[in-house]
Homo-oligomer: A and B are copies of this chain.
Amino acid sequence: MSEQPRPGLPPALRAVLRFDERGLIPAIVQDARTGQVLMLAYMNETALAETLRTRETHFWSRSRQTLWHKGATSGNTQRVVDLRVDCDGDTLLVLVEPQGPACHTGATSCFFRAWDGEGWRPLAFAPTDPER
């Protein structure tokens, strides 16, 4: 399978980013309309360049060691509305309009459990079968 040539990052964008020793930067994904934090995943330079080019989130899958276009299989893509960076350039905040649930369990957000002092309590939007 031939690798498509991919555009690099604009130098002005790249200049403030600090990728870690694995070449990754954590990206918080937040729903631009509701403010709900949906997930956290990691981008390398290619994933970020593809995110900018397509206006849909792309990540680096650490478990599969491959570029991952969020929603390519499920249809649950995330349209990028805004890209922000933190003060020290080592975390991204991506505001999106999600086309479906962010979580592979079917939950709107991957953060569907809260600690109640004794156990992890499922929130209202938690999946019925979180193990799937």
In the complex, the chain B residue whose C-beta lies closest to that of A119 is: B12
Q: Are A113 and B91 touching (Cβ within 8 A)?
A: no
Q: How far is the CB of A121 from chain B (nearest CB, A)?
A: 10
Instruction: Give Cα distance in the complex from A2 to B4, angstroms.
Output: 58
Q: How large is the interface on A (under 10, 10 to 19, 20 to 34, 35 or more residues)?
A: 35 or more
Residue from A30, A52, A120 having most chain B Cβ neighbours under 10 A = A120
Number of copies of chain A assembled together: 2
Chain B CB within 10 Å, residue with most, of A105, A112, A113: A113
Q: Tell whether A79 is near chain B: CB-to-CB under 8 Å.
A: no
Given contacts A85-B113, A112-B87, contact A120 B16 (CB under 8 A): yes
Q: Mark A89-109, 1 if CB is under 8 A from B, else 0.
A: 001010000000001110100
B12 & A40 in contact (Cβ 8 Å cutoff): no
Q: How far is the CB of A15 from chain B (nearest CB, A)?
A: 9
